[in-house]
Amino acid sequence: MGPDPAMFRALIERCPLVSYVADADGAITYISPQIEAWTGQPAHLWTDDPTFWHTMIHPEDRGRVLNADSVTEVLDIEYRMPGRDGAWLWVWEQKVAVPGGQGSQGVVMDITTLHEAREALQVSQDRLGAIVNAAPVILVATDPEGTITVSEGKGLESFDLSPGQMVGQSIFDPHADSVVLQPYARRALAGESFEAHGQLGTGIYDCSFKAMEDGSMIGMATDVTARHRSEERLAHLAFHDPLTGLPNRPAVEEQLGRDLARAARDGGTVSALYIDLDHFKLVNDSLGHSAGDKVLIEVARRIRAVSRAGDVLARLGGDEFMLVCPGLGGAGAEVVADKVLDARSSSTARSSRSARRSVSPSARETAPTPPTCSSTPTRRCTRPSAPDATLTPPTARTQTTTAPS
């Protein structure tokens, strides 16, 4: 007993798709009634007029569909047709030839929901791509063998690369554009998920790499070079004077503490020369703070020029400086003080409006345990003052304290 045609017809007409049969000339001889539920057009219109099907294809799709139908016996294509509510339906049609040249048969499926989901996904991917390619990041993914499947991000510009340029390359190729990522990729493809911070090329990046369950990996590197430089700058400013670039009071106090501890432990000496600019307020009041800043910068330059390589010159604030000289005491400190005074010999004319300033250095060595500093001057030496048209340091005070031997 053969299959019951009525049973097959009932089955076909209850499936959520449209089935049809066409003769050898392409005219539809049967189409399932679901087509009317989709389009609002009764099934007989499709079988009465061989060209009715053509009129039901979206004008923008019609040429593409008819051309595909004419050049192949197997049709697999997506296109639009009008729905019963007036909106366009997206359909997927598959047609195959019936063996023996007896015509063809096919099915049509409503994929409108699927197509809308794909469009939404594409929009989301495009939006994500736009964000990634505008952000200072590098997004890279590979398959389990290390072949790059994704390379996106504005950070690629730092390596003279464009989005997608590395796709298809092996991330382990020694001549590949991705050579800087190889150490991270090896760890991720070995099954490790981790975060890292370091230099890639000329930039500083925060990196995050994740090993996937299928053996592939994905990684993202965020360019934090600007933030890193800002942090370095802030760290520098915390311990340096922004005007002269010298260490500031906290920095020199910390350095002096270390030097005193070392001197006490090793029986050495440390000298600290305190230097201030007499009558500096006159410069600011008469020539302005800009001129005063230039004086401070010049004073710092001159003192550094006569300091030893291991000495630390700091600006304590205002017109006050300190020169810490490890391993130096007694007569040696006096020599350094004289050098600071002698640095004034290179006179600097500041303005037709004259001002005179003096530099007063006080040298102190470390005192007996515990190390302390005395404020009593032990020597005062004077230098001839320069004419009013120049800025020169005419006076100096020197104080010396010695660490225990």
pLDDT of the residue at 356: 33
pLDDT of the residue at 237: 81
Can you give the pTM of this predicted structure?
0.45
| SS3 (DSSP) at 234 | helix
Tokens representing 313 are: 């010159």
pLDDT of the residue at 402: 41
pLDDT of the residue at 131: 77
DSSP E strand boundaries for 98-136: 104-110
Domains annotated for the chain, with CATH where assigned, are 5-110 (3.30.450.20), 131-226 (3.30.450.20), 240-398 (3.30.70.270)
Q: What is the DSSP string of 325-361?
A: EET--THHHHHHHHHHHHGGGS-B---SS----EEEE
Q: What is the DSSP string of 134-191?
A: TTTEEEEEE-TT-BEEEEE-GGGGGGT--TTTTTTSBTT-TTSTTGGGHHHHHHHHTT
- Intervals of the chain under pLDDT 50: 345, 347-405
pLDDT of the residue at 57: 95
By C-alpha distance, which of 134, 129, 178 is closest to 155? 134
CA atoms within 13 A on the CB side of 373: 17
Residue 298 pairs in a beta bridge with: none
pLDDT of the residue at 201: 76
Q: Using only the alpha carbons of the chain, give its radius of gyration.
A: 43
Q: Cβ(129)–Cβ(152) under 8 Å?
A: yes
